[in-house]
């Protein structure tokens, strides 16, 4: 056989021997790191204040604004979209706040007071009723135009696993608690809440605030995940006092601990957000520069209420 023809025949045979596709895990699919974005996290922002001309002008300079969509009309969300930024809604799945209209309907599912927040209690995420409630709230927000979710108190996972009966055994299994959170996040995902106007990717814009143990468990079991980012509060700063609020620099040990975990998540393709609290202009600038170099998104607030741009 002519050498040229022999080469082509060999190459063709090799190509035909290859599989049509190769199955990969979610961690392999998420190998590409996500760049930093300009974020503003203001779940405490009053809806009428949010759409003031002054604030709408500020929102033109950011990529993502987090609000509590329960306080916003469809038209107000539309006005924010006109600035060019995406709108995510705060959604608290791990605890129940007394100011929520549905508090009395679900307060019987609460199991523990929330330290430093007297008007809030941890809630049982294994309850089908609570799972449905969270998903229905999310459905309403999507109908009103939000692009994604900022999910708070995912560390309810650790809180529920810390509960013991009189014999010292766990009241809840890790499997049951993880499944409860999974159910809520899957219900909020694009495949269940169409049409989320976020992207054509497999992962909807769902950012988890805290919840490292849950995230670690999900990445370990190598199954489909329903979030694409993680947020951590107080990596470079700390809250010394809640009343009155007193902020300062975090310890080197704290920074090292969280930076190691967040870096590993970022390498797996998860976006990383930081929420810091500081009144120090120099420290604020240093945090922004550090986060930007790492490819992380950072929001530094001067208020614990997260209510002012």
Q: Each residue of 249-295: pLDDT tens digit?
A: 999 999 999 999 999 999 999 999 999 999 999 999 999 999 999 99
Per-chain mean pLDDT for the chain: 87
User: The domain that contains 238 carries what CATH number?
Assistant: 3.20.20.70
Contact present, 214 and 230 (Cβ < 8 Å)? no
Backbone angles phi, psi at 100, to 5 degrees: -80, 140
Q: Is 306 inside a domain boundary? A: no
Q: At what angle do helices 174-188 and 212-221 cross, to 10 degrees?
A: 90
pLDDT of res. 169: 93
Residue 20 lies in a domain: no
* Predicted local confidence at residue 189, as pLDDT: 86
| Averaged pLDDT, 81-93 | 97
pLDDT of res. 28: 40
User: What is the model's pLDDT at position 27?
Assistant: 42
Q: Is the pLDDT of residue 134 over 90?
A: yes
**Main-chain phi, psi angles of 145, to 5 degrees:** 115, 5
Going by pLDDT thresholds of 50, 70 and 90, the confidence category of residue 35 is confident
Average pLDDT of the residues in 218-229? 87
Distance CA 224, CA 200 (A): 16
The answer to whether position 7 is within a domain reads: no
Give the predicted TM-score (pTM) of the model. 0.86
Domain-located, residue 5: no
* 11 alpha carbon, distance to own chain's centre: 47
pLDDT > 60? residue 81 = yes
Q: Is residue 206, in this structure, part of any structural domain at all?
A: yes
> Out of 38-42, 129-133, 225-229, which region has the weakest mean confidence (pLDDT)?
225-229
Asked whether residue 24 is assigned to any structural domain, the reply reads no
CA-to-CA dists, residue 236 to 70, 275, 292, angstroms: 31, 9, 14
Q: What is the mean pLDDT of residues 4-14?
A: 40
* Domain interval for residue 268: 29-301
Which of 10-14, 58-62, 81-85, 110-114 is predicted with the least confidence, judged by mean pLDDT?
10-14
More reliable by pLDDT, 126 or 28: 126
Q: What is the reported pLDDT for 240?
A: 87
Structural domain includes residue 14? no
Percent of the chain with pLDDT over 70: 85
Number of structural domains (the chain) is 1
Reference 56, options 38, 39, 74, 81; nearest CA is: 81
Residue 23 has a pLDDT of 29
The predicted model gives 166-180 an average pLDDT of 95
pLDDT at position 21 over 60: no
Instruction: Give SS3 for 129.
Output: helix
Residue 148 lies in a domain: yes
| Residue 193 confidence (pLDDT) above 60 | no
The whole-number average pLDDT for the span 56-72 is 97
């Amino acid at each position: 056989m002519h050498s040229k023809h022999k080469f082509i025949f060999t190459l063709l045979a090799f190509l035909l021997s290859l599989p049509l596709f190769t199955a990969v895990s979610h961690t392999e699919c998420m190998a590409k790191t996500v760049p930093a974005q300009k974020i503003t996290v203001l779940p405490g922002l009053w809806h009428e204040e949010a759409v003031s001309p002054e604030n709408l002008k500020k929102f033109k300079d950011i990529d993502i604004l987090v609000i509590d969509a329960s306080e916003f009309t469809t038209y107000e969300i539309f006005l924010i979209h006109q600035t060019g930024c995406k709108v995510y809604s705060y959604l608290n799945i791990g605890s129940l706040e007394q100011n929520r209209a549905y508090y009395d309907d679900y307060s019987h599912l609460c199991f523990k007071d929330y330290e430093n927040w007297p008007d809030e209690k941890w809630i049982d995420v294994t309850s089908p009723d609570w799972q449905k409630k969270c998903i229905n709230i999310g459905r309403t927000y999507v109908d009103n135009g939000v692009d994604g979710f900022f999910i708070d108190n995912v560390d309810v996972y650790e809180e529920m696993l810390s509960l013991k009966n009189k014999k010292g055994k766990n009241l809840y299994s890790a499997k049951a608690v993880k499944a409860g959170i999974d159910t809520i996040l899957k219900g909020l995902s694009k495949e269940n809440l169409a049409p989320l106007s976020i992207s054509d990717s497999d992962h909807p814009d769902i950012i988890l605030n805290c919840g490292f143990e849950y995230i670690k468990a999900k990445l370990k079991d190598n199954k489909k995940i329903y979030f694409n980012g993680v947020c951590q509060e107080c990596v470079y700063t700390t809250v010394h006092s809640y009343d009155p609020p007193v902020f300062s620099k975090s310890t080197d040990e704290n920074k090292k601990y969280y930076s190691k975990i967040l870096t590993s998540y970022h390498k797996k393709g998860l976006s990383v957000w930081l929420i810091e609290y500081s009144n120090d202009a120099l420290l604020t600038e240093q945090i922004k520069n550090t986060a930007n170099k790492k490819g992380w998104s950072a929001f530094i607030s001067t208020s614990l209420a997260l209510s002012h741009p």
